[in-house]
Amino acid sequence: MRFDHILHALHCEPWLISAEMHEQLCEIVDAHITGKAHAPDGRAEQFEKGAGKAKPYEVVGNIGIVQLVGVIGKRIGMMERSSGVMDVDDFTTNLQAALDDDRVEGIIIDVNSPGGTITGVPEAADMVAVAEDIKPIVAFTDSLMASAAYWISAGASGIVASQSASIGSIGVYSSILDTSMAYKMAGLERQLFKAGSLKAIGTDGVPVSKEQKEYMQDRVDQLYGWFTSSVLEGRGRIQEGSMEGQTFFAPDAKTRGLVDGVGDMDDALEMVLDFVDMRRG
């Protein structure tokens, strides 16, 4: 099946994303598989309107603006792009271009993302942390900065969010659909021949073993450790209990140490310009 790799990623790999958006992605893929993706008013059709390659960075005065928009993936194909996924490599390419641009003295990362897959995210976050030593960076959202998007943004010099924006979702999860009981009720039994006790986890119709469940939980725990450690390194002290997968509106996020300011894009511009002036002085 042409969607096998996408189904495996959705149902067997850890995700840094809001559960609601993950569910929507599952619905979109199902719509493509069943042929409903392009039906009138179909959800996938709505996503396609805003899909595609990330816009190149913009320069406003002496500030570069780099977008981090949509579900985050890496080395994505046309199917993923048509479902509204942004390639993290597009983001890092644009960020590097802004760093190399002599006109740019500071950078704003304009964020509207529910997060995404794990692959490429720690590396993008490390790039932001290193880039911040070269030129000041402020991450801004007037909508959503969640999970993988927050991880990437946490290494910036500062974070600004509009009052009603949602910030956080610091957590990791993986969801496997065990369909073995449904097969059994239908009078079917799937036989799987493999080598390696942890091979082919999540195969349709095959029960998920205790060993496989423990392996998946260990992976999730390891990634959660990477995530929280990176956030704490970038942000410093964060109020206890703020990294349990929940999101916060900006005022609460500021109280908890997840953002530095509550305001609009002008406030983000003012903050990054202040950082530029400080470095000049």
Cα–Cα separations (whole angstroms), residue 274 to 33, 62, 105, 268:
50, 12, 11, 10
The C-alpha atoms of residue 230 and residue 202 are separated, in whole angstroms, by 30
Active-site amino acid positions: 147, 199
Instruction: Give the phi and the psi of residue 61 in degrees, each rounded to 5.
Output: 65, -115
* CA neighbor of 109 nearest in space, from 79, 148, 80: 148
